[in-house]
Amino acid sequence: MSISTGASPESIESYLNPDYWNGHSLGYGEPTDARPRPSLNMSSVTRSEAFLQERLARMWRVVPIETFEDGQVFDTQEYEPGTIIIYRDELLTGNPASVDIDVEALRGEPLPARPMDASPGAEARSIHDAQDHVRYFTNVMWGVVATSKGGEGLHIVPAGAIQRSAGGAQLRAPMLQRPQPSITIGKTEHYATKDSERVERINALDVLAYGETEQKRRSASGWAARLAFGRDEHETA
């Protein structure tokens, strides 16, 4: 299988290895029937976009308040609306019928390193086969726990879609809704439709700013929170 990656010499075959995805790959392992579909509330998305831009304008350093590791669960229902997170995800997608190699035979081969850097400037990458039948992506995403009471969960946007300047932050792409309200770090999700599959995973997640009410309630441990909000060390909480 040939590849087209731009400057990267990597082969997509490494990312088809089921060992990399905890026993899953395209056409390999038991998928669920279909990926959940979010019910998008555009007024809530607009509020999340405004909330993220306002917070980013005050955030002079990205300092994690909480860090989630493999096996831990970030549940939006346990956090105040307006809580801001950043996470690193990766996705393998394509039609299993178009995979012209023996995926099972890849088991035991050396694996690529999992992308774990969830900082805003971390690299986003894409690798695909020459026919564009199979693609691998990795990206850093910003997320906002929905600021309405409608239970929408998490609104997300790629880190590369945020342009920061002296005047604040601007989103160059609309925020979308993540279909699942909770995230289990390191867990492989495998979804299938009639002619396509997607295998995905979130490798690292940091909470950067709590929602307004929760931030005040947790101010006793707020040194990192004050940095995350971009306050000077001489300011009061």
Q: What pLDDT is attached to residue 85?
A: 96
Residue 113 to residues 55, 59, 110, 154: CA-CA distances in angstroms? 32, 30, 10, 27
212-236 per-position pLDDT tens digit: 665 555 554 544 544 454 433 333 3
User: Is residue 89 classed exposed, middle or buried when 0-12, 13-18 and 19+ CB atoms within 10 A define those classes?
Assistant: buried
76-132 per-position pLDDT tens digit: 999 999 999 999 999 999 999 999 889 999 999 999 999 999 998 899 999 998 888
147-177 per-position pLDDT tens digit: 755 567 999 999 999 987 766 778 899 999 9
pTM: 0.83
Backbone angles phi, psi at 17, to 5 degrees: -65, 120
